[in-house]
Structure formats: C-alpha cells, structure tokens
Amino acid sequence: MQNCAKRGVLLGLVVAGLFVGARAEEKKKLTPGKKDLIVIRRGDSEFIFGGRTKIESYLEKNTIMLNSNIPDELQYIKHTSDLNFDYSFGEQKYGYEAVEAFATLSYKGAWGKALPYADRDAGPIAPTNVMIDNASLPGHSHTSGKLLVWFKEAWLQMYFNPIFNLKTKCLHSLKLGWFPFELDSGRGIAFGGFYGMNKELLGLYSYTEDKSAPGILLSGNIVKDRLLYDIYYGVFENKSKSWSDEWNMGKRHVIGREKNPWIGEAKNDEVIAGRLKWKPFVSDRAGILDLEPYVFYNAASDQKIEIRPDAKTNWGSYGLNVEYSKGAFECGTDTAFNYGYERAFGIDRNQAVIENNEGYIVERFNKILYVNDSKKVLVNTDTKKAASVRYQKGVNDNESTYIPGFKDYKSASDRFRPTYKTTLHGWMTVVDGAYTFKEHDLKLALSYAYASGDKAPHAGDDKDAHYHGFVGLHEGYVGKRVPSFIVLDRRNLKRPTSLVNNKEDVGVDTTFTDMQIVGLGTTWSPKLGGKAFRLNPNVLMFWKAFESKKWIIDPTKTEDYAYGEISKNENASSFMGTEVNVISSLELLTDLKLYLNFGVFVPGKYFSDVKGMPVDKDLYTQVIKDQGTNVLAGDAAHYRIWNDTAYDLNVGFDYKF
C-alpha cells in the first residue's frame, strides 16, 4: 500500500509533465576529451575533475557598420578557462547516480581589458544610474583589472527511484540550481541557453553575464529510451528579494500610479517550459527518427521600452523539432510560432535632464515647455508643480498640451504615451540535411532557414498593433549543419530594422529574425599523420523577410541629423549579402587543438539601398554631432551604416583535460 502511494506521487509528477509538454537536455557526464578522466572513488562515491582552456585572437574589419570610413576594426586576444567538478553517489548500489552535484568555475576576459565589476552578491553586472536632484545621468559601472572567477554552472540532481524505492528501469529526476537549458535540441532558436542574446527591440530582460540561469528541471522516462519528458521552471529576474526591491519608486512615470509609484511585490521574470522526446522507430532498415514537440511561457513584469519599468510581456513559443538519420544520410527541421503580447503602460515621458546652456550647466524638464517660445522649462519649485499635473485629455493632440492652473507652461505634444498592446505573431522554420561519403572523409550539407520580420515594434504610433517578426528567447542560433561565422555566430553586424514612411528613427537587430538563408557547406575530416584534421568551408546567402524602403542621401538637407530621407515609393532590395567562411582545426596532441576560423561578408544590394541611414548609436549622431561641429554637415552618411566588405579572423588553441 505504501509503495502504491509512492508510485502515485511519482505518476502525478509525470502526468503533470505531459500536460506541459517536455524533455530538456539529457544529463551529460563530464567528458571533456579523449584522455582518461581524473577520477577519485571512495566506496560508492565518485569525484571527477576536468576542464578546458582556450586562448584565441580576433581580427575584425568592417564587421559592425560595414564602413571603412570609420574605426570599424577590432583586434584583441581573449582567454577562457573552465574547471569542472562532478560528484555522484549510488552507481554501485543502484546502477545509476542516485544524486549528483556539478559545478563549473569559469573565467573569461580580453588581454589588457578591465572587466565590469560589482560589489553586490546578486544579479547581473549592469550600469547604475546616478541622480542629480531630479535628473538622471547616463548609467555607469566600475571595472577591475583582476581576473574574476565565477560559477558558470552549479546544480544538484536527485533521482526519485531510490527515494520512493521504485523498481523500474524508467528513471525520473529533479535538478535544481544554475544549469544550461534549451529547447529544440542542437539549435536553441525558440528557447536557447545564450543568456544576454535577447531581442533588443522588445521590453525583455536578458542576462549580461556568461552563466546559466537558475532553474528547476523535472525529467524522466515514460518509455525507456523511447519517450522522455522534461518540465523546466526558470527565474531570469527577481525583484522581490528585499523590501527595497518592492519599495522601488520605478513606476513614478506610469499614469495612474501617482499615489502608489512603487514597483510592488512579485514583479519577476519567470519561464515555464517543457518538451517530449520521442523515438517512433530505431532500426537499420527504417533509420532513426526523433520527434520533439515543445512549448514555453514567459511572464516578464516591469520591463523597459523607454523608461524602466514601463511594460510587461506575457508570451512564449510552441514548436516541433524533427531529426532523421539512416546510414550516411541525415536531416532535420525545426518550426516554431510565437504567441502572447507585450503591454506598454501609459506613461508621462517628462523627465529632468542636464543640459549645457551657453557654457552653464542647467536642469530642465524635457517635455514641459514655455508657452511663449516653446523652449524647455528650467526645473524649479513652480515647474515641479506643473510637472505633477498629468493632464492628458486627447492624448497627443493640441488640447493635451494645456496644463490646468499654469498659463505660462505647456506640455510637449508627445509628453504622454497611452497604454497599448503589441501582439506577437512571429514564426520561423529551418531545414537542413547532409550526406557523408565515408570513403572520402567528406560530408556535404544544405540548409534553408526563414525567420519572419517586421518593422521595429515600437516604431508605430503608440497604439495596439501586431508584430510579425520572430522573437527567440535567449536565442543564439549559428546554423547546425551549415554554420554562419560572421552574421549569426559573431553577431557584431548592426542590421537596420526596416524603413517605413515618415519614420527616420530606426533600430538595429542582431538576432535570428527578419531573414531568409540558403546555405551550402562541405566538411573534409581526414587523418593527417594520424592526427585529426577538419576543414569546413561554407557559403550562405541572406535575404530580408520583411520589405524596407530605400534611404535617399541628400547632402543639401539641413535637418538636425538626417541628411537624407526615406523613399516614399521605392523599396530597398531584399538581398542582404553573401557570407563565405572556413571553419578548420588540427589536432596537435591529444585534446590539444589548433583552430582557424575565417569569414568574409560581401554586402548585397540591400545595404547599398540603405547606406547612410541613421541607426542607433552611429558614429555621427553620438560623436560628431554631439561635439557641436558641422565639419561633416551634408556628409553624415559616410559615418553611418555603409556597404563595405567585412572580414573576420579567429585563431586559437583549445585544450581539454
């Protein structure tokens, strides 16, 4: 009776997993290389030690703005070291590890470059805003030249079978701590493990450090080795650790929150995800088929579009990953669809800013103006009272500029942003395949990928809208069988979002969205003098998935920073360019590898059609214009996005032990 009750508890957990979907990464033992691992055994305890170190150099030209007119060249040496520690217990008694603890100590840094440093024990290292009176200055952070070491992974895994005395070959486990997790195995497009790679243009939070997110993973076998499941819960951001978190006055700009402008409790960023992994058949005759349906839901409170916090997101993706292989042939496909929405709160955009006024530093409100000359008002007792009056009848029209009780001041026409919702409808699909000619140590591969696109999600008119660009959570896709070294792996290229009529401000995006890719690759992997050698050349062509207008350069224009305009009736070409890369490596000694990766990106007609357009933080807007010089007036285009060929070289040593 007691065993039945225990089995009932476990069955309930399994059934819950089936309702969510699920199966995450199978537990991977520490197998860093070909050499025997360093193992210490005492009774039924086992401790394994290993690691990896990489020292590599990068030389990059025109990889950011495709522009040889500006300092668009990077050169540095980077060092990465990981130490892995794995402890397990129960192999002799149960035939598997009843409990396992794993940790990875990591260091990563560029030679001669100080690292961001924080003296707090929680959260990512992010810039901190400094306040002077009511004005907020740009964020700042501290750095340290010391070698900083952190835990990249640290988790505990335990099995239910010995806990509940279950006599079955189907194992079920619970993992807790910091560990990597991704859906669509081997691709990580819909939900990846690359924290810090979130879409830049939506109010989503992402890590800024190289570490796994904390989470809880329930996993196990329903049918041994044929049908498995995972349920995952992760915490990306927590704002309820202390009273100061909850009492944060961050919502002082949100309309309707004047009397309670604090953030409040349970304003976290959390995700629940799941998948099944099913092998319908495994045989020499039929081959091997793997099916992986998956789904996740992300609830991210108090995110930022313009002013933190001024938005929240409730969204996710569902999809299906398929892999098939038979003999020398292999292929796969992955398709996912976004669902959910981003809610932008109604806000008062007015803020105090510091400005230089004819050699004097003054504090002004940026969205409250003098009636007589429409200049920004100085911050004083009277204007602070005017700023506290949030009169917004007829938002963004002339009537809304009136401030009751203050005849000398008025609101800017765009001072108030209404509440609106952006519904997500993006989707993506990838298909790739390869055939291996074993007698020639040669593999040929083809790939096609599509990710839907759209204009920048906040480039509209502050009203309900549908966003059709694909959004991946922590996505870091580089290509499974035909990799992209420059565009998808390095991701330095500032790809402009689509130009639309009467919208000169555009953003940039580096994620797997708004593109079509066709790729061809071949891998030659012979033994040279008994040592492993790998040569993998690839050719990939990129197109935009969503149309964009042309940018027309006009040196005679004298606007603030445009020096051009968006074409009213002519679209830019969709062809973004061609990447040719070579991924190669040579085994020098056992587990010591010398590798060389080289890529060239030749911009297509799309970049010719939009070159010179203003983009976020381009050199002219941020440096030349801010210096108050007109030396480049009419020539600003040459200091922005261009269409020069990009080059990227990466050489290094990789040692596993």
Mean pLDDT on 381-406:
80
Between residues 12 and 607, which one has the greater pLDDT?
A: 607
Mean pLDDT of 524-533: 93
601 phi and psi angles, rounded to 5 deg: -115, 120
> How far is it, in rounded angstroms, from Cα 636 to Cα 558?
11
pTM score: 0.88
pLDDT of 205 strictly over 90:
no
pLDDT digits (tens, 9 = 90+) for 170-187: 999 999 999 999 998 778
Distance of alpha carbon 607 from alpha carbon 618, whole angstroms: 15
Cα 611 from chain centroid (whole Å): 26
**pLDDT over 70 at 271, yes or no:** yes
* DSSP string across 152-165: EEEEEEEEHHHHTT
Q: Give pLDDT tens digits for 481-514.
A: 999 999 999 999 989 989 887 665 577 888 899 9
What's residue 25's pLDDT? Answer: 34
The stretch 84-104 carries a mean pLDDT of 94
The number of beta carbons lying within 10 Å of the beta carbon of residue 531 is: 13
Q: What is the pLDDT of residue 394?
A: 60
Residue 607 in this model has a pLDDT that exceeds 90: yes
Q: Which residues pair with 337 in a beta bridge?
A: 318, 427
> Rounded to an integer, what is the distance from CA 137 to the centroid of its chain?
26
Does residue 459 carry a pLDDT above 80? no
Q: How confident is the model at residue 456 (pLDDT cuts 50, 70, 90)?
A: confident
Q: What is the model's pLDDT at position 369?
A: 95
The answer on pLDDT for 630 being more than 60 is: no
Average pLDDT over residues 233-255: 88
Residue 10 pLDDT: 36
pLDDT of residue 24: 30
Would the pLDDT of 206 be above 70? no
Flag whether pLDDT at 634 surpasses 70.
no
No. of helices (H) and no. of strands (E), the chain: 7, 36
Distance separating alpha carbons of residues 505 and 187, to the nearest angstrom: 33
pLDDT score for 103: 96
Look up residue 600 and give its amino acid: V
Give the rounded percent of residues in the chain with a pLDDT score beyond 70.
82
Give the model's confidence band at 12: pLDDT under 50 very low, under 70 low, under 90 confident, else very high. very low
Residues 6+ apart with CB under 8 A from 603: 66, 576, 577, 643, 644, 645, 646
pLDDT tens digits, one per residue of 19-62: 333 323 333 455 557 788 889 999 999 999 999 999 999 999 99
Question: What's the mean pLDDT when you consider all of the chain?
Answer: 85
CA 45, CA 199: separation in Å to the nearest integer?
A: 44
Q: What is the pLDDT of residue 250?
A: 85
Q: Using the predicted structure, report yes or no on whether residue 448 has a pLDDT greater than 70.
A: yes
What is the rounded distance in angstroms from the CA atom of residue 88 to the CA atom of residue 29?
10
Mean pLDDT of 380-385: 94
